[in-house]
Structure 1
Amino acid sequence: MTKLTKTRFAGLALVCLTATTPQMASATEGYFALAYGAAQRGVGGAGVAYSQDAMSAAINPANIGDIGHQMSFGIEAFSPRRGFSASGTGFLPDGETRSGHDWFPIPNFGYNRPLDGGGVLNFMVYGNGGMNTSYPDVANPNCGGGTGIFCGGKAGVDLMQMFVSVGYGRKDGNFSWGIAPTFAVQRFAARGIAAFSGSSVDPANFTNRGYDFSTGVGLRAGIKYEVSPQLTLGLSGQTRFKMSKFDKYAGLFEDGGSFDIPASITAGLAFKPRSDLTLMLDLQKIFYSDIGAVGNPQTAGLYGAAGGAGFGWDDVSIVRLGAEWQQNPDMIWRAGYAYASNPVGKDDVTMGIFAPGIVEHHFSFGGAKKINDRDTLDFAVNYVLPHEIKGAFMTGGEVELDMHQFSASIGWTRRF
């Protein structure tokens, strides 16, 4: 592939990615993605101490230093199945209600280029997270002739987050490091929730305002150290992203539409008990509670006010286990498991109807097939076990949230 052709292909990939707007990220930990490419998804999102492809820098920018010159492109078909059951609320329709929009295509693109002097440049575009609910315009006897779960017709929210990252890293002996300034774009819309607007400081900018956009920047950085040929340690972190406000939803989100992206930190190891097998362990913490719109209790005050009501989410702790076995020079098999603590408590089910990010147990299987000396195809399937949480609705009665997820991914990596 000539330099001109590579440039054209990378440009085309970027246009395709930025033109595609994923409504919900892959298998989720809260609303963060489990992983950012097919290779990562195959091992349950593990890899803070292990480099696989150009997308590995999304887990740890220190992975940039030993990936080499390559380009990765992939897509995931993601299906979150979510809904709720209500009884005795005097407001919601009794029985089960399911959210629509069950399938989402989610692309990713990464390019890694060694530079003169030992440094390596990395470029990525990927969806970090999101949440989507779309409840139908169902009959509701509690609406006095109206319809919809909140008596406002079709209801739900749609949050998308896209990251564009330019990173630099290098490997010096056993030590690797990397840094990645990152630009983020968020898109959000809410509809059918006017019944809550009486608890807002700005009811006119609470719901049914169409899509609004928010932008901001943050920093990701990481290190890796090869203790021995068998053991590598890794550590990476992401700062809080200060985002511009959602002006159209200044009455919904805390402090006049503020919706920053939370910080996170990940530590882990990669262990090779033999030359053809790598075992991975990652531990991650996502600090959702630091973001007022997400972490403030639903009883904190009026929506849209400084320090006002939020979704009531707790921080999320994640444990990831992954294994990669090289069967032969042309075939790799992968498996993984991840546990993510549920951020939604029983006191948070009212707003959890909009964002039921409650799943905990993630199972992964995948592999990679080498097509020739330059090209590899990666694949992965993920299944997230059903999880439910029951609590009291704001007007009385009970609501039980439920969700399960599955996805299939494919990716292509070319090495130059």
Structure 2
Amino acid sequence: RLGYLGKVTDKISLGASYSPKVSMSKFDKYSGLFAESGKFDIPENYALGASIKATPDLLIAVDYQRINYAGVPSVGNPSSNIGGCMMGNYANCLGGSSGPGFGWKNVNVWKVGAEWQATPQWTLRAGVNVGTNPVPSADVTFNIVAPGVTTSHFTLGGTYAFSPKSELTFAYMYAPKQSVSGSSMFNAMMGPGAGGTETISMSQNSIGVQYAWRW
């Protein structure tokens, strides 16, 4: 991963990072499921960001990130590739070199956050994360096992400093329910009406608490 962080002025900082696709060792137990005999790499991604010291007590940050899921066959290959397997092309079968994947598309993610030093003891934070949906309707069936369709996240948090050497930090994240519907893969495999229309959805809540001390 390559990155840069620098101050443009006393109040403005800019940052950037880039990571190429990271080759991971294969999942041996899933060699008959994921494309390329269980290979599941980390996708290429890059980000740009800026932070602005709006006042001595208020920091605002804005980020843009691009995640290229489509460049990882086990994630980006369309699930319809399994149709080639049914025609006798073994490379299109589950686990094959061109086997079906989750069909995830590349996504763009925008983030805005704020940090306010409310008092010498209290630091309060809030943020919004909005991205594009990686799951197309044509790949709903395969994504039943990984319904990563949420596109928005809202966060609140803060830190209370008991002393210069100890502090308590808490955070809450809420991702509203998002759904994707599409024709079942079984309609193509077994005939019209065999699977009907399928819908996948997800919502999330997360709470974190951390205590830190220094010596």
TM-score by length of 2: 0.88
Aligned partner (choices 124, 146, 150) of residue 333 of structure 1: 124
Matches within 5 A, 1:362-381: 362-381=153-172
2:98 aligns with 307
Shift of 1:414: 3.0
Shift of 1:221: 2.7
Measure the CA separation in 1 of the matches of 2:214 and 2:57: 21
Shift of 1:317: 1.1
Measure the CA separation in 1 of the matches of 2:30 and 2:114: 43
Measure the CA separation in 2 of the matches of 1:415 and 1:225: 27
Gap regions ≥5 residues in structure 2: 82-91, 188-195
Measure the CA separation in 2 of the matches of 1:254 and 1:323: 41
Runs of 4+, deviation exceeding 6 Å:
none
1:412 aligns with 211
Secondary structure of the 1:299 match is: helix
Counterpart AA for 1:405? Q
Shift of 1:239: 2.8
Shift of 1:237: 2.1
How many residues are matched? Answer: 197
Measure the CA separation in 2 of the matches of 1:361 and 1:375: 33
Shift of 1:343: 0.5
Matches within 5 A, 1:200-349: 220-300=1-81, 301-349=92-140
Percent identity of equivalent pairs: 38
2:201 aligns with 402
Secondary structure of the 2:141 match is: helix
Counterpart AA for 1:316? V
Measure the CA separation in 1 of the matches of 2:4 and 2:210: 26
Q: CA RMSD in A?
A: 1.1
Measure the CA separation in 2 of the matches of 1:246 and 1:338: 31
Counterpart AA for 1:229? D
Counterpart AA for 2:172? V
Aligned partner (choices 150, 161, 173) of residue 359 of structure 1: 150
Secondary structure of the 1:352 match is: helix
Secondary structure of the 2:163 match is: coil
Name the structure, 1 or 2, with higher relative contact order (CA <8 Å, separation 6+).
Answer: 1
Measure the CA separation in 2 of the matches of 1:411 and 1:225: 29
Measure the CA separation in 1 of the matches of 2:95 and 2:200: 25
Matches within 5 A, 1:377-392: 377-392=168-183
Aligned partner (choices 184, 188, 195) of residue 393 of structure 1: 184
Secondary structure of the 1:256 match is: helix
Measure the CA separation in 2 of the matches of 1:375 and 1:221: 32
Deviations 1:148-193 (A, max 9, x none): xxxxxxxxxxxxxxxxxxxxxxxxxxxxxxxxxxxxxxxxxxxxxx
Measure the CA separation in 1 of the matches of 2:170 and 2:133: 28
Measure the CA separation in 1 of the matches of 2:39 and 2:62: 34
Deviations 1:13-63 (A, max 9, x none): xxxxxxxxxxxxxxxxxxxxxxxxxxxxxxxxxxxxxxxxxxxxxxxxxxx
TM-score by length of 1: 0.46
Gap regions ≥5 residues in structure 1: 1-219
Measure the CA separation in 1 of the matches of 2:144 and 2:125: 35
Secondary structure of the 1:269 match is: strand
Deviations 1:310-344 (A, max 9, x none): 11001121100000000111111110000021100
Measure the CA separation in 2 of the matches of 1:411 and 1:315: 33
Secondary structure of the 2:37 match is: helix
Shift of 1:287: 1.2
Deviations 1:42-99 (A, max 9, x none): xxxxxxxxxxxxxxxxxxxxxxxxxxxxxxxxxxxxxxxxxxxxxxxxxxxxxxxxxx
* Higher mean C-alpha displacement, 366-375 vs 236-245: 236-245
Measure the CA separation in 2 of the matches of 1:273 and 1:312: 42
Deviations 1:102-142 (A, max 9, x none): xxxxxxxxxxxxxxxxxxxxxxxxxxxxxxxxxxxxxxxxx
Secondary structure of the 1:286 match is: strand
